[in-house]
Amino acid sequence: MGQSSCRPKEVTAQVTSQAPWPGTGGVYWSREELEARNRRLAHQGVAAAEDVLVKRYGLGVVGEGFELLRAVSQQFNVKLHTLADAVVRVPAPDAEVRVWFPGRRRYSPPRLPALALEPGSRGSQGAVLKAVLHRVLSITQTPMGNVQLKDGHRLHLTRHTGLNTYFTEFFAFVDNDTTSCAQAAAQHRQVTVRDVAGADVFDEASRYAILQSGSRAAHSVPLTSSRGAVMGMVSSHHERPLTAFSTAQLAALQQTGTDAGRWLSWHWNTVVLDALERLHTTAIRRLH
């Protein structure tokens, strides 16, 4: 995969009288509908991981796979959905081997000089993502934004500020291309939506969810590893239509996305794999 381009793709607005402003019908999800959808999507990933564990280790007690996932996720401070995704996606260890990743080299977390991190917090995903969001909102000069992490084919909302509950519930999971963040992830480049009201990147339900939160424009930055893999996304939201960002702003956003992506890659290859290793050794012990 190639590296992300610094120059963003711009999604221009063509405002018409049919633009769906908050309060119009036909695109609104009820709280109950959103909660049910999010529970279902969250359960899918965990259930798939449970199924893998049952088949791989012969777990026989109902719920044993879930309890194992939960215990290890808490021990290593890894989100349950992240660990479940890793169980499903990482190739299985050889049968009966006690070490899943033999010879794996360990590294310290990469330095993040541009981020405002508390001393000793460089290894904390929560602290790093909070600092990434703060940095992006400082560059783009807005109080609204969010961070999403890549889980398989989905983006999962992880941090946010300045956005209301309907927005965060609606975009808790993004698995289609009807948002600017999904397009930025697919294209490995920054994407600017100058005016949400008329931009054709959104379906009507997504447009409604953004507009009702008070956002009229958005800018999405992919968080990319050194190999160009998209590890997540950070987006800023703006209460007025956007003009173009300066070259310096775009370069700073690009660097932030690169730094954050490198850190997330380290976290996956160190902390998440440590958690998988512990899960494996615990399950093997239960077999014997």
Res. 25 pLDDT band, cuts 50 70 90: very low
Integer angstrom CA distances of residue 204 from 19, 50, 52, 180: 9, 35, 37, 13
User: Is residue 131 predicted with pLDDT exceeding 80?
Assistant: yes
Looking at residue 8, its pLDDT comes to 59
Q: What mean pLDDT is predicted for residues 111-123?
A: 90
3-state secondary structure the chain: CCCCEEEEEEECECCCCCCCCCCCCCCCCCHHHHHHHHHHHHHHHHHHHHHHHHHHHCCCCCCHHHHHHHHHHHHCCCCHHHHHHHHHHCCCCCCCCCCCCCCCCCCCCCCCCCCCCCCCCCCCHHHHHHHHHHHHHHHHCCCEEEEEEEECCEEEEEEEECCCHHHHHHCCEECCCCCHHHHHHHHCEEEEECCCCCECCCCHHHHHHHHCCCCCEEEEEEEECCCCCEEEEEEEEECCCCCCCCHHHHHHHHHHHHHHHHHHHHHHHHHHHHHHHHHHHHHHHHHC
pLDDT value at 137 more than 70: yes
- Residue 269: closest CA among 93, 49, 105: 105
Asked if pLDDT for residue 189 goes beyond 90, the answer is: yes
Predicted confidence (pLDDT) at residue 120 exceeds the cutoff of 80: yes
pLDDT at 12 over 80: no
d(CA 253, CA 139) in angstroms, rounded, equals: 7
Residue 288, pLDDT score: 64
Mean pLDDT of the chain: 88
The pLDDT tens digits of the residues spanning 160-177 come to 999 999 999 999 999 877
10 vs 142, residue with greater confidence:
142
Q: How confident is the model at residue 6 (pLDDT cuts 50, 70, 90)?
A: low
Q: Given this model, what pLDDT does residue 21 score?
A: 32
Mean pLDDT of 136-146: 98
Percent of the chain with pLDDT over 90: 69
**Per-residue pLDDT reduced to its tens digit, 257-273:** 999 999 999 999 999 99
* φ, ψ dihedrals at 72, nearest 5°: -70, -40
How many Cα atoms sit within 13 Å of 155 on the Cβ side?
29
The CB-side HSE value for 254 (13 A sphere, CA atoms) comes to 17
pLDDT at 58 over 80: yes
pLDDT score for 177:
75
Say whether pLDDT at 218 is over 80.
yes
Per the DSSP assignment, residues forming a β-bridge with 192 are: 10, 219
pLDDT at res. 185: 86
- Which pLDDT score, from 0 to 100, does residue 35 have? 93
**Looking at domain 111-267, does it have CATH number 3.30.450.40?**
yes
Domain with CATH 3.30.450.40 in the chain: 111-267
